[in-house]
Chains A and B, each alone.
Chain A
Amino acid sequence: MAEGAAASRGGLGKALPLLAPAYLWLTVAIFLPLSAMVFFSFMTDLPLTGKPWAFTLGNYAAFFSQSLYLTLLLASLRLGLEVTLWCVVIGYPAAYVLAKVLKGRSREAIFLLVILPFWSNGLVRIFSWAMVLREGGILDAALNAVLPFKINIDLMYSYPAVIIGLVHSYVPYMVLTCYLTLQAIDDSLIEAGRSLGASRLQVLKRVIIPLSMPGLVAGAALIFVPVVGSFMEPRILGGRTGTFYGTVIEDQFVAVFNWPLGAALSFILLAVVLVILAVASPVLRRAA
């Protein structure tokens, strides 16, 4: 008993130099600023502004006293769900093809294309979409050049434009996480299913999807959380429909310099997202 404890302590002692950099980094770069933000969210005014300040719950009360924050939060959650759904629809088949169909060179090439968006700056991507989606833009001009009849495509400054921009930015997460789990599925399991008389659809439903569920869940969580708080894509692509929970938080920090309210709104978002993930986790774990 005592020996075991000593051994584990020794193990921790040895592991400490390896763990220390990561934990030090987490403490300095994430934990400290985040706790400062928690602190700010309970203040009437930022101490940095040099004005007198006091502790208050008013910033959190503001969320509940005005219906607009709740409306926006629901709109953002819906946006998160829709974007995640589209990422699954687009990303999962691509991941399957990458993992099971393509081999060698062609797989590398396609893989490169999938993760290419990661290598470009987010703003550049969005402004490229702006050029494509607007009336008289690349999509409009190209379709009208090909089609015999005249159509008018002006997706810019609309809700679909926000979805397109966000799906484009986040679909690689889904492809990567699903690819990893799909690749780990033993081909002989699929062959066994087929040889025992299962149709392709049955194999997909009974073997492939259940086994790749951890990747789907991880991808969905990776996408849903940042999309709910996104502000850049809605602001640039959404036009007058581009007001979301994230843009209101950004306004508090950038435009009106009300950090306490911005921080409080952020933590409410964090709490809501955590609750959603907590509620969903038993379901997801069973599925996975």
Chain B
Amino acid sequence: MRMPRLTALLTATAVFTTALTLAASAAEVHVLNWKGYGADEPWAIAAFEKATGNKVVNDFFNSEQEMLTKLRTNPGLYDVVMINAAFNDQAMSEKLIQPIDTSKLPNYADISKDKAGSPMLDHDGKVYGVPWVWGLTALAINEKSFDKPPTSIAEMWDPAHKGRVVIRDDAVEAVQFGAIATGQNINDIKDMDAVKTKLTSLMPQIKTFWSSENDWNQMVASNQIDIGTYWSGSADRAKTHFKLPVSLVIPQEGAVAWLDAFSIPVGSKNVAGAEAFINYMIDPKFYVEWVTKVGAPVSANTKAVEALPEDAFNRKVMGDPDVAKRIQFQAPITDAQREAYLALWQQLKVDVK
């Protein structure tokens, strides 16, 4: 007598809970992104929720590997995921993300053609990623240490800056930086020994390895460094938001460019909400507010960039056609390459001890 009643009760509870979950998730958009990277700005979420009635639930990752793991282990949980274009191919081939119907995104038409047509995001004529923002890993200088900004990457090796140079503690970034310094293609490094030699000679110049924007800004604020690798968006933020004497240098040898895009995971329970969210993220109104209030990389939406003031860094410097010629966009990296880069970087760090 007892068992059936218990079973019935359990079933009822289960059904009820499922119904509740479904009802709740129908209006929720689960977003997976870096922390503090636009999609979790409270004013933006409030505006989006008010406009569409969807509730935004943010979740974060600390590395691309963690992001992929979260997608693999939580199928159906996320509706929107921000993926660096270099990882889009891997996510697609593992069937973690689904094709996006761009006709549902009114702002998609304004995305610059070279970004929207990127072979990293489009596979077999289907769009797997909506370009959001792009930026550079270039050099930034402490304005107090320079009369006029340097133009060459060789400045990092100048003995005058010994002990006042920084580089990010990231194997891929370091190796690609070495590739640019030795005049190679970052996506097809032929002469790894040259990269190693070049980086080895850089190590004694280095003060420390930075890992967060805060590290960099602190060291400039206390005038401890002259020059180092830095992200374009961060340099902009340091100058406009924190009023630090920082300016970005895009060396004549070139710089590493990256493209971030939004995708919709396979199994998303709220594809319509996801499309609305992505469309909002590439909207000029959101972008201008993001740049003004916080500081941001360059939008992939040409209309959004045009909505910035004419002398805005993201429009004037980053939009310069001369810059476009110098930069190299990061292509996907295999696991084997990644491990080789890490081994090289660790060895360099040990040798300098």
Contact = CB atoms under 8 A, between A and B. Distances in A.
A joins B in a complex = yes
B338 interface: yes
Nearest to B203: A240
Interface string B304-344: 00000000000000000000000000000000001000110
Contact of B207 (A51, A72, A75, A240): A240
A120 interface: no
Contacts of B203: 240
A235 B211 CA distance: 10
Interface string A38-56: 0000000010111100000
Given A75-B353, A239-B207, A254-B63, A48 B69 contact: yes
A240 B224 contact: no
Contacts, number: 69
Nearest to A244: B353
B330 to A, nearest CB: 17
Contacts of B353: 71, 75, 241, 243
B223 A257 contact: no
Contact of B208 (A49, A50, A51, A240): A240
A74 B224 CA distance: 31
A149 to B, nearest CB: 22
B222 A72 contact: no
A248 to B, nearest CB: 7
Nearest to B205: A240
Nearest to B350: A68
B69 A50 contact: yes
B346 A68 contact: yes
Task: With a 10 A CB-CB cut-off, give which of B66, B207, B223, B350 has the most chain A CB atoms.
Answer: B350
A135 B224 CA distance: 7
A160 interface: no
B179 interface: no
A255 interface: yes
B73 A50 contact: yes
Contacts of A239: 206-209
Given A239-B209, A256-B342, 8 more contacts: A46-B69, A49-B69, A50-B73, A71-B350, A239-B207, A255-B63, A256-B65, A257-B66
Interface of B: 62-63, 65-66, 68-69, 72-73, 94, 170-171, 203, 206-209, 211, 222-224, 338, 342-343, 346-347, 349-350, 352-353
5 contacts: A50-B73, A68-B346, A136-B222, A136-B223, A156-B224
